[in-house]
Amino acid sequence: MQAIDSNTEEKTMTSPRTVARIAALLLFVGIVFSLPTDLTESLVTAPDYLTSIAAHNTQVIIGALVAFISAVISGCIAIALYPVLRKQNEALALGAVGFGLIQAVFYFVNVLGLLSLVMLSQDFVKAGSPDASAYHLVGSVILAARSSATFTFGVSTTGLSVLMFSVVFFQSRLIPRWLAGWGVFAALCLLIVAFVVLFGVKPGSPVETALNLPILGQEIVLIGWLLFKGFSPSALAAPTK
């Protein structure tokens, strides 16, 4: 009897309706925690960033905590969708999970970079703000590493993960094709963001911001669809190819 109850509970946890709601919740939380980037970016991009970070180290630490939660959430979205997506296209579903986890790792580098800058800035101030070319050299390396990890490699792996599960959505019709196609377009925009940032476009610039808008809009609509509509019953019932 207990085994039957356990099996029933497991099926409930992985039911398409439950998967849709969990994915919607993760997407919502991910958006909420990815928006307050100004907590840190205005400080780490300031000309006197070591002094600014030292004066607002609590703010930077909170920003690092928010970035950590965002990284965890971002790695969980494709995992949450996997039980449904694997039945439609297991290869692409696994790819989406893999790139989602790699994306999370790059975002963790951003967190470590922020915390490293806090420690470096504190040492800089304690030393009496000397002629600190060594401090600025180390700081520049940390800034470059976190910027590349976040805005180039993190964004590109995000784009690849979104592209893969959006293609599965489009092929399977689990959600409307216009919404899945929007996801494919948004993912391609993310890949373009990573490319242009790699070649000198600054994060937060009008070009970079405009290219990020499609994924924000698509995720907001997708959240509503997954919460109120869920996955298409006819697509779920259709035999997998």
Using one digit for the tens of pLDDT, what is the confidence trace for 22-39? 999 999 998 888 876 666
Q: Which domain holds residue 202?
A: 11-236
pLDDT at residue 8 greater than cutoff 80? no
pLDDT at residue 64 greater than cutoff 80? yes
Q: How many domains does the chain have?
A: 1
Tens-digit pLDDT profile for residues 184-216? 999 999 999 999 998 888 888 889 889 999 999
Tens-digit pLDDT profile for residues 80-128? 999 999 999 999 999 999 999 999 999 999 999 999 999 998 888 887 7
Burial class (CB within 10 angstroms; exposed 0-12, middle 13-18, buried 19+) of 232:
middle
Burial class (CB within 10 angstroms; exposed 0-12, middle 13-18, buried 19+) of 36:
middle
Residue 22 lies in a domain: yes
pLDDT at residue 5 greater than cutoff 60? no
As given in the structure block, the two tokens for residue 142 are 């940390």
State which H helix or E strand residue 5 sits in. Answer: helix 2-13
Mean pLDDT across 1-13? 47
Query: Rounded to whole angstroms, how far apart are CA atoms 149 and 141?
Result: 12
Burial class (CB within 10 angstroms; exposed 0-12, middle 13-18, buried 19+) of 44:
buried
Residue 153 lies in a domain: yes
Q: Which amino acid is it at 176?
A: P
Half-sphere exposure of 26 (CA within 13 A, CB side): 18
Residue 2 lies in a domain: no
Residue 241 lies in a domain: no
Which among 125, 1, 2 has a CA at the least distance from the CA of 55?
125
As given in the structure block, the two tokens for residue 26 are 């993760």
Tens-digit pLDDT profile for residues 133-171? 778 888 889 999 998 998 899 999 999 999 999 999 999
Question: Which DSSP string corresponds to 176-195?
Answer: -HHHHHHHHHHHHHHHHHHH
Residue 6 lies in a domain: no
pTM of the model: 0.86
Which among 175, 13, 42 has a CA at the least distance from the CA of 114?
42
Residue 29 lies in a domain: yes
Q: Length of the chain, please?
A: 241
Q: What is the pLDDT of residue 37?
A: 66
Q: Is 106:157 a contact under the CB 8 Å cutoff? A: yes
Give CA torsion, residues 86, 92, 96, 101, to 10 deg. 90
Residue 4 lies in a domain: no
Give CA torsion, residues 230, 32, 193, 42, to 10 deg. 180
Lookup result for tokens 């499609």: 214
| DSSP symbol at 35 | S
Residue 5 lies in a domain: no
As given in the structure block, the two tokens for residue 33 are 């925690």
